[in-house]
Amino acid sequence: MKPPLLPHGPGFRLIDAVSELQPGPSMTARVWLNPAWPVFEHHFPGNPLLPAVYLMEMAAQAAGALWAAHAGWPPQEPLRLVEVKQFRVRQGAQPGEILTIRVKIETDWVKLALFNAVIERGEETIAEGSLVLAAAVN
């Protein structure tokens, strides 16, 4: 695992590390849910829970890192999440947990790509779905 190469600023890089590009192509990312994140103080006070939109964004960031690596684009290329398809959150995630995000390119149309994402805590799937990213690459 290595630090992800993402265009996001440090305050919005939600994944900590990514694997090398794998056949498929696919990639695995890891994230530690830092208890100091402000979101845990306010969602829900006394019983913190990671909002589902953070899980989707983590999957999108992992998908973007995968697509950039697969296409050979520099990490600062602007990629946009344009659609979330059938994303299901089966269980919540709490501060201090380590999550694994597995992403795979299902279809690549050059400037648009469909990804499958699975988010796990240990051996347990806590969320899964499909995401579409668009590229503004020349």
Which of 8, 42, 43, 70 is an active site residue?
A: 43
**Comparing C-alpha atoms, which of 79, 54, 58, 65 is closest to residue 27?**
65
70 carries an active-site annotation: no
* Interior angle at CA 87, CA 81 and CA 88, nearest 5: 155
User: Distance between CA 106 and CA 113 in Å, rounded?
Assistant: 8
Contacting residues for 64 by C-beta, under 8 A, at least 6 apart: 6, 7, 79, 133
Side chain identity, residue 119: I
Residues classed as catalytic: 43
